[in-house]
Amino acid sequence: VSQGSPAGGVYVHYPYCRHRCSYCNFVVATPKRIRHEAYRDAVLKELELRSVGFHGPARTLYFGGGTPSLWDIACLEEVISHVHATIGLREDAEITLEANPEDVDEVRCQSWLSAGINRLSLGVQSTRDSFLAAADRRHDEGKAIRAIETVCRAGFRSFSVDVMFGLEGQGAADWSTELDRILDFDIPHLSIYGLTVEPRTVLARQVERGRVLLPNDGVQHEMFTTTRHRLQKAGYDHYEVSSYARPGHRAQHNTGYWEWRPYLGLGAGAHGFMDSCRWQNVTRVSRYITTCLEGKLPTQSEENLSSETLAFERLMVGLRRLDGGVDLGSDFKLFETQLMAQEERGWIERHGTRVQVTDEGLRWMNALLLALMP
Ligand SMILES: C[S@@+](CC[C@H](N)C(=O)[O-])C[C@H]1O[C@@H](n2cnc3c(N)ncnc32)[C@H](O)[C@@H]1O
Ligand code: SF4
């Protein structure tokens, strides 16, 4: 590890999905034929180009998407071995794959393990047919449950399950039943997201036209609070607004983002961050592949973050951390007036230059973040 530079992570974006879910605005492509090898070659080329300035060995490697569980396992294995060979991976590195329930079976789990994947993040979203349909997902409740059971038995070092609340037709009682079902399994990490209506999605148009009516903010908030209480009681540590972990199972890759460690983003639409510079890759998959295979960097935009912007973003991200918040150090004075006002209101707590949200602040998180905008 080069001096003064914390060890970082590598993110690989795999953009292909079988179908685009109505709420999703991630960089996703749904072609009839997936270009497994061409995409692998492009990622390997980008890795070769970008690895030069990156201080290894990496602490984490994360395959996100899209649906990276669709990728030929031989391709995943090659990417892992090239990361080893170029920037290096720590011996204890966390290597995560996002998997959709449709792709999970015992044979695949064993192949992922042999390829070096030691953590799965399973996109269950709901364990009820009606809400899976409302969320426009392609798996059913049987598949969701079987996938969780299979992953529980497979022998991963850790795994996470993603669940969403605030789906169409879901009431507080439905959500409580969903939590019962999830808590029936021994899941080491849970990512629980309130459904957000992202611009330019099918869902956004449906909501606008009144075709879909989502639970209101009050109900969403009640679901969030119930989740927090129930999961804490069940032994989960609520360490970030959407993240719950059993002891020893916090997501190291995401924690790396929140600690502002450098990360190398590879793949269509991926972001990277190093030495105060943030960049984003081209989002069109065909263009990403062609550019890389021509030996050129697929950067679409890059930005050198000023020290003020970095300080502000550190505050925004830090307030979502519920395990001690963020120590702003000498940047504290930049936000002193706004922070004092929020402290008086009871929304944040302060110890010297360290700030953290209170339970009341957590209730009004969006308003709190808005109030801190410069
Ligand atoms: C982009 S997905 C990729 C993983 C996988 N393809 C899947 O769908 O499960 C990562 C996670 O983001 C969450 N997510 C995506 N769009 C969201 C939205 N509009 N509101 C809330 N959560 C969302 C979902 O819970 C999903 O599991
Ligand atoms: S939610 Fe997941 S499966 Fe659905 S389109 Fe987005 S990335 Fe693909």
CA atoms of 299 and 280, how far apart (whole Å): 6
Is there a contact between 261 and 8 (Cβ–Cβ < 8 Å)?
yes
**2 pLDDT exceeds 50?**
no
**217 pLDDT exceeds 50?**
yes
Pairing of strands 189-194, 58-65: unpaired
CA atoms of 260 and 5, how far apart (whole Å): 11
Q: Convert the pLDDT of each residue in 190-202 to its tens digit.
A: 999 999 999 999 9
Q: Convert the pLDDT of each residue in 299-331 to its tens digit.
A: 999 999 999 999 999 999 999 999 999 999 999
Using most ligand atoms within 8 A of CB, pick from 151, 164, 168, 202 the residue to mutate for ligand 1. Answer: 164
Structure tokens at 64: 């996100």
For the Cβ of 26 lying below 6 angstroms from any atom of ligand 1, the answer is yes
Share of the chain above pLDDT 90, in %: 94
Minimum-distance ligand to the CA of 69?
1
Pairing of strands 354-357, 348-351: antiparallel
Output the pTM of the full model: 0.96
CA atoms of 340 and 346, how far apart (whole Å): 10
**4 pLDDT exceeds 70?**
no
Q: Ligand 1: distance of its center to the CA of 151 in Å?
A: 19
Using most ligand atoms within 8 A of CB, pick from 18, 19, 23, 26 the residue to mutate for ligand 2. Answer: 26
149's CB contacts (< 8 A; 6+ apart) are 185
CA atoms of 229 and 161, how far apart (whole Å): 18
Minimum-distance ligand to the CA of 30?
2
What is the per-residue DSSP string for 194-208?
E----TTSHHHHHHH
10 Å CB burial of residue 354 (0-12, 13-18, 19+) is middle
CA atoms of 374 and 369, how far apart (whole Å): 10
Q: Convert the pLDDT of each residue in 65-107 to its tens digit.
A: 999 999 999 999 999 999 999 999 999 999 999 999 999 999 9
Q: Ligand 1: distance of its center to the CA of 340 in Å?
A: 35
Partners of residue 192 on adjacent β-strands: 163
